[in-house]
Every structure is written in C-alpha cells, then in structure tokens.
Amino acid sequence: MNTQLFKSDTRGTANFGWLKANFSFSFGNYFNADRVQFGMLRVLNDDTIDGGTGFGTHSHANMEIITIPLEGGLEHRDSMGNEGVIRFGEVQVMSAGSGVEHSEMNASKLEEAKTLQLWVFPDRENVAPRYDQKSFDIENQINTFVNIVSPNDQNDGNALWVYQKTFFHLGIFDSNTTTNYSVRITKNGVYLFLIEGEILINNQVLKARDAMGITDFDSVEIQIISKSKILLVEVPMN
C-alpha cells in the first residue's frame, strides 16, 4: 500500500471577498504541477460562499460534477431547465457531457453556505447532459460508509450515478473506533478527505481538512481518534 498525506494548509487558496476557497488540486489561478489530479479526480474545492452571492451562469463540458453542501444550501439553475435548492444532507450530480450552463447561488441572503465540489473526468465524452440530486441520511448511519455516488453500470438505485468507475462514500464515525475500506475495483485508488475530526492511517495522523491518496491496496484500516466525518473517493488511476 502506498500513501501520500496532503495537509490542509498546503492547499491552494483564493479569497474574493464573497467566496473563500481551498483547492486540493490546481484550479483557477492556483497551479501546482504536483497537484493537478488524483487519477480521474480533477477537482476538490472546499468553498465558503457569502449570503446573497454565488456563482453566476457559466458553462461546463465533459466532466462529472458532484456537489456536497456542508452547511446551508445552493440554489441551482441550468440550461436543461432544472431549478431547485440543494441543502445540507443532499448530494447533487451533473454530467456536463456535450455542454451545459448553470448557476449556483447561496440560497440564503444572510447566512454563509459551505460546500465541497468535486470534478471527475468521465469515461465517455459528449453524452447528453444530465442532472440529479438525492438526500442521504448520513447523520443517522453512524460508523459506516454510505455510498453516495456509483458508476452508471454498477448502481443499485440507492446512490447517484455518474459516467465513471468511481465510488463516493460519506461516513460519520465515533471516537476510539476502527473501520476498514476495501477497494471496489482492483487498481483503483482512493482519495480520502477528512471533513471533520482526527484519524490515523498507516501510522500517519490526519486532522480536519487533511487528505490522503492511497494506491496499490485491497483494504485500508482507518483508526478514528476523535469523532470524524470522512469523504472517500475511489477512482481509476488512469
């Protein structure tokens, strides 16, 4: 098993006043040749968006985009005619495919919204754009990983799906417990992002917003030091 630790304070940053962002991978004006992507995972942005502001209409193509609100909600509008609010406890996926325009505005005029947005390269190009969102009761499923995103051809209907051999899991774990994650597809890697808490993997301590890339393994043991919320992203490495 190979592991690489990425401390939270080594991420790229941006502060536009209305938006405070941390970039796990090269994005916008932040470029790090060693952090362009992890396998098929291209973007993991940790955003705080002021009330009454947000991302105006912009376009995407040939990317699987997954949005996970951590606090508050985002009002979504797109060129496919979708309109609605995605809130804490929900997850949104969008296959940009042949091209889509959308906007994401803070649903509150006053309160901040905090979100994670991830982009994954698709396994096919120029598909018809699509959008979906789903609620997941993570808070009441303690000490287990809940599958929130699966490949389109390996989805049991409980998770959202995308055009890539990727599996996203979220989990909340009590302190002083141990959990394991077994890779779903041989040769896939895992990018683990610690949203909250403190954990130990392979004798390395991760604290809130730290991440770890894990490759060449079948199963990994995760020791929970303090109550933790973990995002696991399993992706093809090439």
| Domain parsing of the chain, residue ranges | 2-235
Percent of the chain clearing pLDDT 90 (strictly above): 97
pLDDT for the residue 155:
79
166 with 231: CB under 8 angstroms? no
Whole-model pTM: value is 0.96
Sequence letter at residue 142: I
Q: How much is the CA Rg of the chain, to the nearest whole Å?
A: 17
Asked if residues 78 and 131 have their Cβ atoms less than 8 Å apart, the reply is yes
pLDDT at 153: 86
- Binding-site members are 58, 60, 102, 104
Q: What is the CATH number of domain 2-235?
A: 2.60.120.10
- Distance CA(57)–CA(102), nearest Å, equals 5
The parts of the chain modelled with pLDDT lower than 50 are none
Q: Could you read off the pLDDT of 107-137 as tens digits, one per residue?
A: 999 999 999 999 999 999 999 999 999 999 9
List the binding residues for Fe cation.
Answer: 58, 60, 102, 104
**DSSP letters along 181-199, please?**
EE-SSTT-EEEEEEEEEEE
Structure tokens given for 88: 């804490």
Closest CA to 69 of 52, 47, 96, 51: 47
